[in-house]
Amino acid sequence: MQALLGVIFHFIGGFASGSFYIPYKQVKGWAWESYWIVGGLFSWLIVPPLAAYLTIPGFTDIIAATDGGILLITYIFGVLWGIGGLTYGLGVRYLGVSLGSSIILGLCSVFGALIPSVYYQFSPRPGKDTISDLLTNSWGQMVLLGLLVCVIGIVICGKAGAMKDSDLKKSGYVADDKTEFKIGLGLTVSIISGVLSACFAFGIDAGKVMAEEANAAWKALNPDQGEFLFQNNVTYVVILLGGLTTNFIWCMLLNARNKTFGNYTDSRTPLLSNYIFSALAGTTWFLQFFFYGMGESKLGNGPSSWILHMAFIILVANSWGLILKEWKGISKKTLTMIISGILVIVLSVLIVGYGNYLRE
């Protein structure tokens, strides 16, 4: 029953992540950087502390009592993840929800399992796996195989993206303004996003001591009731401040360069609905990790939880891609290529998940 609840929570989290960009499509008359940072303020600054406040009494005391070095490295991984989150928005913008999300999340899922092992190779810690462990154990070799399969899937998706670009030009079909399909730029930012977005998984691991403190305090008050569902909410506060730092600086630079600061007060645009939809997108985005933490507390397996979470996001994002008709104007051959690439990425996620299962 605990495992089933964990899967359900991960599905809800995956649905939130795979759906968060949809409200942004209802924003009218604003530049990308304007609605992205408005939504981001809810994702990274407003909602996380509110969620922690509602679920973890004294969460600020836990943060204050945590070693400064742990807080710093957790924050730094949040900054790196923030670059990944920033380029995620650009990847979806230039490749569409379906193709962009598949490439980014496929890379994110496998690198999320690799980044910690590389770090611990150079900074060993008892109970933590190194890259050498991956290379010399059957379960680790399975994880590496999953990475290879993911790369193959990325190549297939990249080929499909080029074919889509060619199909659109031949048919004269003009993509939706909010999609702005650009295969070269889209692939570049998506690969960067996929690699750096995986830093969130390591940020959770780096700041695990805060979650453990919250878990211990809750269990002391609620004995024999299992693990605390919301223990990760305190860690998210620190990680997401790092993400806010990256995205805020970049969006302000874009506002200055593109002269779009006026978006926030431009009465010629539907200001109220723009703020509401941006806030909805940002809040929905945060809910992915709110439910991720609940799912991980039930499954008790960080790496496999991460893989399951990513798999659900890929499936949900691609379902939205079909609903939004992102494949309109392409040939059956291109559609087959795209579907094949996505399925290979999903397969890679499952292989990595199986590798982590073997480790248990």
**pLDDT tens digits for range 49-102:** 999 999 998 999 999 999 999 999 999 999 998 888 778 777 777 776 666 767
pLDDT band at 305 (very low <50, low <70, confident <90, very high): low
Chain-wide mean pLDDT for the chain? 82
First-last CA distance in the chain: 19
- CA 160 vs. chain centroid, Å, equals 23
**How many whole angstroms separate alpha carbon 295 and alpha carbon 5?**
7
For residue 245, what pLDDT band results from cuts at 50, 70 and 90?
A: very high
What pLDDT is stored for residue 85 in this prediction?
Answer: 76
CA pair distance 11, 6, nearest whole angstrom: 9
pLDDT digits (tens, 9 = 90+) for 148-181: 887 787 778 767 777 876 777 776 655 444 446 6
Judge whether residue 349 has pLDDT over 60: yes
The pLDDT-based confidence of 234 (bands split at 50, 70, 90) is: very high
Confidence of residue 307 (pLDDT cuts 50, 70, 90): low
Rounded Cα–Cα distance for residues 226 and 139 (Å): 28
pTM for the structure as a whole: 0.73
The sign of the torsion formed by the CA atoms of 277, 281, 283, 287 equals positive
CB–CB of 84/240 below 8 Å? no
